[in-house]
Amino acid sequence: MFLVGIAGGSGSGKTTFASKILQKVTDPAVALLHQDSYYLPTLPPGVNFDHPDAFDWPLLRSHLEILKQGGKVNVPVYDYRTNQRTPETQAVGPCKVVLLEGIFTLWDAPLRALFDIKIYLHVESDIRFIRRLHRDVKERGRSLDGIIRQYYDTVRPMHHEYLEPTQQYADISVGEETDVAAGLIAARIGAYL
């Protein structure tokens, strides 16, 4: 199985980039996983979503290893409004290619070792903040003041301390214009398939 890791700051366009790749590949043997699905089962209000300790690393590693071996996994569904996993899961696999997108996709060394291609989306902080603002108000029911406070209290400092340094592990660093890069990755996946 071929595994692609897509990392980048909150609001950098990871999900959009992965979707562009999927639009070009259009093969049912390709699956998309979101690292957000692997937040710990229950997180208290005010939790630091932007710290590596917020994730269930053993479960994520286990699922990727099972998928790499041609198996099937039940991916958790995380609810941002309640800050916990729902009882539902999403069946994934078996598949030939998996795209994993998430802020800390390149942070964990054992996880990094599983990837065939490692990508980091490098987008300026003001653009990421504006995208995050729109998303969190529209999709997650958060207030403007809460989003701004969270950005200064956790998102920005965690980005500098934990996330930005992971760019060094990327095979490819992509800026805001992702169409060409998505086409190149899609072509590489197509050649693998």
pLDDT in tens, 42-57: 777 667 888 999 999 9
> Is 11 within 8 Å of 131 (Cβ atoms)?
yes
Mean pLDDT (whole number) for 20-36:
95
Domain count, the chain: 1
Nearest-CA neighbor of 35 among 1, 88, 75?
A: 75
* Residue 76 confidence (pLDDT): 97
pLDDT in tens, 123-180: 777 777 777 777 777 777 777 787 778 777 877 888 889 989 999 999 999 987 889 9
> Is 30 within 8 Å of 94 (Cβ atoms)?
no
CATH classification of the domain holding 16: 3.40.50.300
* Residue 114 confidence (pLDDT): 94
Amino acid at 65: E
Q: Residue 166 sits in which domain range? A: 2-192
Tell whether the model's pLDDT for residue 182 goes beyond 90: yes
Instruction: Tell me what percent of the residues of the chain surpass a pLDDT of 90.
Output: 65
> Is 36 within 8 Å of 103 (Cβ atoms)?
no
